[in-house]
């Protein structure tokens, strides 16, 4: 009990403008390792396609889901929206098509009503109960994606080893910078994650090389290959770490998780170093 109350979740948004690049699957892999390591994780499905929801929750569309947090008329308690999955460490706030009503694309409209700040309070209140809170975003930069960024500490951008100019990376990166500037200075980019990598294709190998040169340290070392066993695990709705714990695929999930943890630690170290040097600077000024 005591340990639970000391949790402060790391909050991560998984986002890209392009569809089908492995956003939901990245959330799946991280959740799979949380289950294995007994880390409490809350998956917030921010995509009305509800792919993540349907993997973990039966009849997720019937009850209120994430849309309730965007509805000013409801003033919903986020705890009432949480559904338990059959996996003890994995909880879900489901999505459904009712989210469409709130997922405005017109920025002027949502800024007027501050809809983009809808997730900030709910996330603060849920942080103590989890080790990780993950937002799985739709392939759009509408208000729900912005709201996830406004409430998060970190961002992961999955992309394919193909022309990244065509994957909306420029727009996503600009959106992150804008959120950092105006709404959430705490937000940090954890990195670009190459997903659905087709190892046998020469052009993907060559894009991977270019991508590493282009993004440098912001490219994850872990690459998630396109493998049938990953697809099987999603289809069977069993985390890969449980379905095939000794497989290469489970090891890839663990490597991704370790890298996420290490990147969070490194960024936290940088922030505390910056805070300390600010304190030192202000002490010198005061002296
Ligand atoms: N590494 C992988 N190996 C095999 N199949 C994968 C892998 N990653 C994702 N898939 C499968 O590819 C499909 C698309 O992946 P996913 O749903 O994660 O993409 P997405 O970016 O979330 O898509 P959307 O933009 O529609 O939300 C899914 O059926 C998923 O199970
Ligand atoms: Mg998805």
| CATH code at position 138 | 3.40.50.300
Q: Are 21 and 161 in contact (CB under 8 A)?
A: no
For the cut 80, the answer to whether the pLDDT of residue 190 exceeds it is yes
Q: How far apart are CA 197 and CA 219, in angstroms?
A: 14
What is the distance in A from the centroid of ligand 2 to the CA of 146?
16
Element at 42 (helix H, strand E) = strand 41-45
Give the 3-state secondary structure of residue 84.
Answer: strand
For the cut 70, the answer to whether the pLDDT of residue 5 exceeds it is no
Q: What is the total count of domains within the chain?
A: 1
> Which atom of ligand 1 lies at the shortest distance from residue 25's CA?
18
Tokens at 114, concatenated? 């501050």
Ligand 1 within 6 A of 24 CB? yes
Beta pairing partners, 189: 155
Residues 6+ apart with CB under 8 A from 63: 83, 94
Ligand 1 within 6 A of 194 CB? no
Global confidence as pTM: 0.93
Of 36, 53, 35, nearest in space to 44 by CA:
53
Ligand 1 within 6 A of 251 CB? no
* Mean pLDDT of the region 188-199: 95
Q: How far apart are CA 24 and CA 114, in angstroms?
A: 27
Q: Which domain holds residue 62?
A: 2-286
Q: Give the percent of the chain with pLDDT over 70.
A: 91
The pLDDT score that the predictor gives to residue 252 is 98
Ligand 1 within 6 A of 226 CB? yes
> Mean pLDDT lowest for which of 139-148, 189-198, 223-232, 271-280?
271-280
* Mean pLDDT of the region 270-277: 66
Ligand 1 within 6 A of 168 CB? no
């Amino acid at each position: 009990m005591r340990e639970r109350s000391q949790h402060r979740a790391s909050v991560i948004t998984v986002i890209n403008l392009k569809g089908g690049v492995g956003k939901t699957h990245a959330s799946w892999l991280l959740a799979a390792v949380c289950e294995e390591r007994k880390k409490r994780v809350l998956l917030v499905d921010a995509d009305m396609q509800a792919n993540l929801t349907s993997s973990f929750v039966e009849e997720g569309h019937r009850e209120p889901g994430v849309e309730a947090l965007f509805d000013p008329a409801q003033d919903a308690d986020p705890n009432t929206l949480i559904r338990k999955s059959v996996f003890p460490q994995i909880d879900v706030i489901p999505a459904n098509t009712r989210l469409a009503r709130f997922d405005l694309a017109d920025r002027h409209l949502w800024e007027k009503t501050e809809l983009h700040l809808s997730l900030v309070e709910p996330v603060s209140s849920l942080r103590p109960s989890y080790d990780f809170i993950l937002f799985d975003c739709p392939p759009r930069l509408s208000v729900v994606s912005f709201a996830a960024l406004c409430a998060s500490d970190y961002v992961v951008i999955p992309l394919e080893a193909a022309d990244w100019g065509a994957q909306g990376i420029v727009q996503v990166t600009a959106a992150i910078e804008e959120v950092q500037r105006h709404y959430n200075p705490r937000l940090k980019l954890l990195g670009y994650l190459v997903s659905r990598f087709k190892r046998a294709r020469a052009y993907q190998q060559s894009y991977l090389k270019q991508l590493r040169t282009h993004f440098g340290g912001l490219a994850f070392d872990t690459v998630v290959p396109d493998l049938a066993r990953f697809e099987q695990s999603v289809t069977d709705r069993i985390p890969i770490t449980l379905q095939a714990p000794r497989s290469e695929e489970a090891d890839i999930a663990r490597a991704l998780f370790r890298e996420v943890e290490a990147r969070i630690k490194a960024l936290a170290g940088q922030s505390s170093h910056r805070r300390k040097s600010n304190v030192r600077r202000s002490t010198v000024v005061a002296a």
